[in-house]
Chains A and B, each alone.
Chain A
Amino acid sequence: MNTHAKPWQGIVLIALVLAALPFAVGLGMGNAWVRVLDFALLYIMLALGLNIVVGFAGLLDLGYIAFYAIGAYLYALLASPHFGLHWPTWAILPLGALVSGLFGILLGAPTLRLRGDYLAIVTLGFGEIVRIFLNNLNSPVNITNGPQGIARIDPISIAGVPLSKPLEFLGLALPGVYLYYYLFVLLALVIIFISLRLEDSRIGRAWVAIREDEVAAKTCGINVRNVKLLAFAMGASFGGVAGGLFAGFQEFVSPESFSLMESVMVLCMVVLGGMGHIPGVILGGLLLAVLPEVLRHGAAPVQKLLFGKVLIDPESLRMLLFGLTLILVMLYRPAGLWPSATRKRELSA
């Protein structure tokens, strides 16, 4: 009885913390910070998707944000006045996963023989191509509305209730950012669950085997082509779902949200947190999504306090500290902040 009680206690505790978190953050620091949390959750989903490709299968993908873009634009096109379509959320999100997954295969297929640096360059190109397409597909036929982006996207709604408006609940008005938070937490948990299950499976072992030694994996009977494509597709589908959520949450998408910098950011989350280690990747996503905001808001007041005036523009300071952090982490914790036990041994040996 006792042995069974413990994991459940843990789960209940985590559930309570996750449920209370937006209230603690919102009441303590304002709803803008709940919004930051929402974005952190989106980044966690992205990082977990990229972790499958980079962390498990060892395929360095520098264009991952393209799948986020595809999911986001799919949502935008199917639920906005742009084409006059207003599909329901529950239909678009799975479709987004599917379409992004297909694009994942489309990217994977021609790159199967590439590894390491070469693969990185091709995927980087793919990411840029998608962004440039989105930027230019406004003529001769206006599909993406070009650099202006698509506005007035339908907010995500569940059972007819749009999440953008406050919801009266037990005499408590829950603002939209809270509602999105709960939806994102739920979906992030689903993605974490899928990641954990995949990691500890025949498929997960095949991915890691390919990462460790592709030739040996082949002679063990692993169809390397299919298993790699599966990794690309699974990773991309997570990105597609996150993209759809992003579009519905922002109610606006434009190509500039999907720059190379974003791909690099997500990759940093994976590497910094601990490649291939799911808790580490979650930590990486959370830190890299929240810390820049902390700096953005905290840098100016702290400087005023210390020097009486703002010496360095918070925006440049943010990137400076960000770079410094990355260098320090790579120097002192090369396996990431929270590496898997295996990875830690690998780098210390």
Chain B
Amino acid sequence: MNVLLEAVGINKSFGGVQALRDVSLTIRQGEIYGLIGPNGAGKTTFFNVLTGLYAADGGGFSFDGQPLDIAAPHLVAAAGIARTFQNIRLFANMTALENVMVGRHLKSRAGVIGAVLKNAGTRSEEAAIERRAVELLHYVGIADHANALARHLSYGDQRRLEIARALAMEPKLLALDEPAAGMNATETGALRLLIEGLKNDGLTVLLIEHDVKLVMGLCDRVVVLDYGEKIAEDVPEKVRRDPKVIEAYLGGAVA
């Protein structure tokens, strides 16, 4: 299978804390790739470096055969990586529909002049943005709440809305930061179906998750970080039995 994202020797430290140490990994086209590790292992830091929110101290990415410019988040987005956040970041006072419409920013081009003149081109573009946004709300199953403010949605629906907004960017890689955090079993089950559906539609998914059952059941391959270092990268069955992984999660044998 083709490699979609390759990270080579990513380093990032905050003061004296080395949050990522020489992390290298490859994500293949069309797979669900899990990123797991104990708290503080550097998973979210990796996401933030990848999506341009933090500047890396060293290393680089290649994405879809090109070097990835991580100098600014919007460049990463333009390259085709969309993400969600561990602590949901929606546009709280915009409606669900508007949130998804913002996600179409890169796929539309009307500027000030187009907006003011509202010529045929702008009108059809706006209609297309809205149509796609409604489709996506249906896809994630919250179309009933299209006109509700994002902040008034239930927790699970907010997670779904964030995914819909990310999907609106038509990404090649969807990076989900703990999408099941705080969800009950039913919501997690629905989320799992949603992510499997994304995979079936050909999307590549990078998934940070604490719910080990979800990760093991869903992911094609898993990488494990511990104290900023990669300690394992393989199919879930093998990672599960890796002594280093067990040690990282459960603590090492004494003496």
Contact = CB atoms under 8 A, between A and B. Distances in A.
Given A202-B115, A208-B94, A209-B91, A217 B110 contact: no
Contacts, number: 110
Output the residue of B77, B90, B102 with the most chain A CB within 10 A: B102
Contact of B74 (A197, A205, A213, A218): A218
B207 to A, nearest CB: 17
A217 B78 CA distance: 13
A296 interface: no
A168 interface: no
A-side interface mostly: helix
A246 B95 CA distance: 39
A343 interface: yes
Interface stretch (B81-89, B186-194, B198-206): B81-89
Nearest to A213: B89
A204 B106 contact: no
B16 interface: no
Contacts of A343: 93
B105 A220 contact: yes
Contacts of B108: 202
Interface string A321-349: 00000000000000000000011011001
A208 B91 contact: yes
B105 A206 contact: yes
B82 A219 contact: yes
Interface string A214-242: 01111111111000001000100000000
B73 A218 contact: yes
B4 interface: no
A194 interface: yes
Contacts of A139: none
Contacts of A224: 74
Output the residue of A216, A219, A230 with the most chain B CB within 10 A: A219
Given A197-B118, A220-B165, A202 B129 contact: yes
B98 A202 contact: no
A209 B89 CA distance: 11
B112 A234 contact: yes
Given A208-B94, A346-B93, A219 B115 contact: no
Nearest to B85: A216
B105 A222 contact: yes
A290 B196 CA distance: 62
Interface string B103-116: 11110111110111
A202 B110 contact: yes
Contacts of A212: 90-94
A201 interface: yes
A77 B78 CA distance: 45
B216 interface: no
Interface in A218-273: 218-224, 230, 234
A187 interface: no
Nearest to A206: B105
B108 to A, nearest CB: 5
A198 interface: yes
A349 B102 contact: no
A343 to B, nearest CB: 7
Interface of B: 51-53, 72-74, 76-78, 82-83, 85, 89-95, 98, 101-106, 108-112, 114-116, 118, 122, 125-126, 129, 149, 151-152, 165, 169
5 contacts: A204-B115, A205-B101, A218-B74, A220-B165, A342-B95
Across chains A and B, which 10 residue pairs bring their CB atoms closest together, nearest first?
A201-B115, A221-B77, A221-B106, A218-B73, A212-B91, A216-B89, A209-B102, A202-B110, A197-B116, A223-B74
Given A201-B126, A213-B90, 20 more contacts: A201-B118, A202-B104, A202-B126, A203-B110, A205-B101, A206-B102, A208-B98, A213-B91, A213-B92, A218-B72, A218-B74, A218-B77, A220-B77, A220-B103, A221-B74, A221-B169, A224-B74, A230-B112, A234-B112, A346-B149
